[in-house]
Amino acid sequence: MLTPRFRRVQPPWTCERPLVVRFGAFGDMVLLTALIRELHAEYRVPVDVLTSGSWSEPLLTGQPGVGTVYSLRSRKTPYWLAPDQRRVVGALRARGLSATWLCDDDDAARRLLNRAGVGADWIVDVADHPRLPEEHATSQWRRLARMLPRARAGAPPPGAPTADLGCELRVGDAQHADLEDWLGARGIAAAPLLLVQMGNKRTMRRGTRRLAANHKYWPPERWRTAILHLRARHPRHAILLLGTGPEYVLNQALIEQTPVSGLHNVADDLPVPRLVALLARAAGLLTVDSGPAHAAAAVACPQVVLFGRALPSLYRPWGSAGAPVLVLTGTQGGEPSMQGITAAEVIAAWDLLALRDPPGRDDQLSAFTMSDVTRTTPPSVT
C-alpha cells in the first residue's frame, strides 16, 4: 500500500483574522496594503500575511491593520527540503482556519495552503476574479476584499469598506529617529532631499553587459543630463541615489561621470524601514517603474516615474494621500520602451512637479487631490 506524500489535516477550529497570501516583489507588497486596509476595516481585526522575500516582513510589520507576518525564504523549494515551509505550515495549522485571500495564481502557494488544511471553500482566489480592463492593481485588491469564500458565504464581516484609494504606508517614530541619525552621520540632516532611483530588480540581474536588454533600462547619459538639471534647478538640495546593494556600482559610475557636488550614493545602506522613512521625508523622487516608486506614493512623496512595457493604467504609483505622480511613457520600434523617453521630456516633467516642502511644513499636501495622481502633458507625459 502506497503512503501519500502528505495528508491535508483540517484544523478543528477557526480564526477570526483574515489571511492574505502574496509572494510578491517589493512594489507588489506595497500595492497589497490596499487589500490589507480594506480587510482590516471590514473585519475589524488585524490581517495576517503569508509572504516571502527579505523585504516583506520589514515592510509590513507594524503597519496599520497588519497582524502576524509569516515569511518564507522560498515557496518553490521542495517541501521536505524547506524547514521554513514546514514551520509556516505548522503555524498556520495551529492558527486555525479563516477566510483566506490568495493573491497569487500560483500552484506552490495552493499546495502550501492545502498542507496547512486550508481548502478551497475557505479561499478567495485571485484566479477566479481577474483584473478588469484598465483596472488599477489597488482597485482590484479593493474589489477582492468584498468577496467571501464559500465557507463564509452566510457570515458577512461586521465592518464596511473604506473610501480610501491607492496604497498607504506609515512611518514610525523609531524609523524617523533612525533616519535623522543616518542623515546626520552623512552631514545632510539639514538639507532638503531629492531622490533618484535608476535601477530595479532587473537592472543587475545579468550584469552591466545586459543592461540595454532590460526593458526598464534608461541610458546613463540621459540620467546624467537629468541629474545635471536637478542640480542646477535645486542647488540647495542633496541628491541621493537609491538602490539595492548591487546597484551601488551603477550609481558610483554615474557619480564619477557627473561633475557636480552634493551627489550621495546610498544604495549600500538602505534597509527597508530606512528607505520608507527617507521617501517620506524627501521633496521629490525621479525614478523608473520600481518598488521604491510605489513606496514613495504610499508615503505621499511627489515623483516623476518612467515606464517601459508595464501599463501605467494598471501599475502607476498610487498613494491614498494623493501626492502628484507624473508618468512618462515612450516607444521604440513601435513597442513600448523606456528608451523612447528623452532626457528633455524627463526634465520638462520634473519642472512641472510640485515638490514637497521641507519637514515642518505640511500645508502643501492639503492642496493635492486624486486628480493629481496622473497628469497629462504632451507628448508622452500621461
Question: What confidence tier does 358 reach under pLDDT thresholds 50, 70, 90?
Answer: confident
Q: Is 90 exceeded by the pLDDT of residue 199?
A: no
Tell me what the mean pLDDT of segment 190-201 comes to: 92
Residue 157 placed within a domain = no
For residues 266 and 184, give the distance between their C-alpha atoms in angstroms, rounded to a whole number.
14
DSSP conformation class of 131 = P
Residue 342 placed within a domain = yes
Those residues with Cβ within 8 angstroms of residue 8's Cβ, 6 or more apart along the chain or in another chain: 114, 115, 117, 119
139 and 241 share one domain: no
Residue 336 placed within a domain = yes
For residues 375 and 303, give the distance between their C-alpha atoms in angstroms, rounded to a whole number.
11
The dihedrals phi and psi of 249, each to the nearest 5 degrees, come to: -65, -45
For residues 291 and 29, give the distance between their C-alpha atoms in angstroms, rounded to a whole number.
9
- Domain final position from 152, 184, 208: 152
SS3 assignment for 181-241: HHHHHCCCCCCCEEEEECCCCCCCCCCHHHHHHCCCCCCHHHHHHHHHHHHHHCCCCEEEE
DSSP conformation class of 97 = B
315 and 225 share one domain: yes
Helix (H/G/I), strand (E/B), else coil: 20? strand
58 and 92 share one domain: yes
- Determine the structural domain holding residue 333 and report its residue range: 173-372
Burial of 143 (0-12, 13-18, 19+ CB in 10 A): middle
| The predicted structure's pLDDT at residue 123 | 97
Which residue type, as a one-letter code, is found at position 129? Answer: H
Angle of helix 220-233 relative to helix 247-257, nearest 10 degrees? Answer: 60
102 and 190 share one domain: no
135 and 181 share one domain: no
Residue 299 placed within a domain = yes
146 and 277 share one domain: no
221 and 357 share one domain: yes
- When computed from its CA atoms, the radius of gyration of the chain, rounded to whole angstroms, is 22
Q: Is 50 exceeded by the pLDDT of residue 3?
A: no
- Is the CB of residue 302 less than 8 Å from the CB of residue 356? yes
141 and 208 share one domain: no
Question: What confidence tier does 2 reach under pLDDT thresholds 50, 70, 90?
Answer: very low
Question: What confidence tier does 336 reach under pLDDT thresholds 50, 70, 90?
Answer: very high
Q: What is the CATH number of the domain that holds 316?
A: 3.40.50.2000
191 and 61 share one domain: no
137 and 201 share one domain: no
The total number of structural domains in the chain stands at: 2
Question: What confidence tier does 203 reach under pLDDT thresholds 50, 70, 90?
Answer: low
Q: What does the pLDDT look like over 99-153, one tens digit per residue?
A: 999 999 888 999 999 999 999 999 999 999 999 999 999 999 999 999 999 999 9
Tell me what the mean pLDDT of segment 330-356 comes to: 96
- Tell me the pairing of strands 100-102 and 19-21: parallel
- Is the CB of residue 65 less than 8 Å from the CB of residue 89? no
- Domain final position from 118, 152, 186: 152
Q: What is the pTM of this model?
A: 0.89
| The predicted structure's pLDDT at residue 155 | 87
Residue 349 placed within a domain = yes
93 and 191 share one domain: no
Cell numbers for 112: 502550501
Residue 25 placed within a domain = yes
For residues 68 and 62, give the distance between their C-alpha atoms in angstroms, rounded to a whole number.
9
Residue 164 placed within a domain = no
Residue 340 placed within a domain = yes
Long-range CB contacts (< 8 A, 24+ apart) of 119-128?
119/8, 119/10, 120/150, 121/149, 121/150, 121/151, 122/97, 122/98, 122/149, 122/150, 122/151, 122/152, 123/149, 124/99, 124/100, 124/148, 124/149, 126/101, 126/102, 127/102
Which residue type, as a one-letter code, is found at position 155? Answer: A
254 and 141 share one domain: no
